[in-house]
């Protein structure tokens, strides 16, 4: 997801890098919660399309987040980190196909929304 952020922001803002760190491995690498790629993708949707005022509507962004979740689940078979890992062969860079696929999904979705790089 850092590559997605770099593409759209020029360089991912440091605060986003720091904020997304604990999401890895289902939350602190415990593998028990939502996949970090799903969490980070939603975080990126919010960073690019989220509201900046409480009076703005969240509905369009929520719809995109639901679509991303649905497409991610179709790709990975689950949203929970360990359940996804259990379907992948034990090897170095085990989650690589999910990384590549989830980045592709997010980029397709952002492109369809007309989101352009800011830098």
Q: Where do the structural domains in the chain lie, given as residue ranges? A: 2-112
Residue 30 corresponds to which tokens in the numbers above?
A: 């415990």
- Is 0.85 surpassed by the pTM of this model? yes
**CB atoms closer than 10 angstroms to residue 113:** 14
114 torsion bin: left (phi>0), alpha (psi -120 to 50), beta (else): left
pLDDT tier for residue 1 given thresholds of 50, 70 and 90: confident
pLDDT (0 to 100) of residue 119: 62
Report the distance separating Cα 51 and Cα 53, nearest Å: 6
pLDDT digits (tens, 9 = 90+) for 28-54: 999 999 999 999 999 999 999 999 999
CB 113 within 8 A of CB 64: yes
pLDDT tops 70 at residue 73: yes
Mean pLDDT calculated for residue range 20-35: 95
**106 close to 44: Cβ distance less than 8 angstroms:** yes
8-state DSSP, 116: -
Closest C-alpha among 117, 9, 112, 116 to residue 63 = 112
- Whether 23 has a pLDDT exceeding 80, the answer reads yes
- What pLDDT shows up at residue 118? 82
> Does residue 113 register a pLDDT over 90?
yes
Half-sphere exposure of 47 (CA within 13 A, CB side): 24
Q: How far apart are CA 49 and CA 10, in angstroms?
A: 16
Is the pLDDT at 93 greater than 80, yes or no?
A: yes
Q: What is the pLDDT of residues 54-66, one digit of tens each?
A: 999 999 999 999 9
pLDDT reported for residue 71: 98
């Amino acid at each position: 997801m850092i590559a997605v952020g770099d593409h759209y922001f020029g360089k991912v803002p440091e605060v986003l890098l720091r904020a997304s760190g604990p999401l890895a491995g289902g939350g602190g690498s415990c593998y028990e919660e939502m996949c970090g790629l799903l969490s980070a993708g939603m975080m990126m949707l919010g960073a690019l399309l989220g509201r900046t005022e409480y009076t703005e509507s969240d509905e369009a962004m929520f719809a995109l987040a639901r679509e991303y979740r649905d497409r991610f689940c179709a790709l990975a078979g689950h949203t929970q980190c360990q359940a996804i890992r259990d379907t992948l062969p034990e090897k170095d860079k085990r989650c690589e196909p999910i990384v590549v696929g989830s980045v592709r999904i997010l980029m397709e979705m952002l492109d369809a929304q007309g989101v352009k790089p800011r830098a």
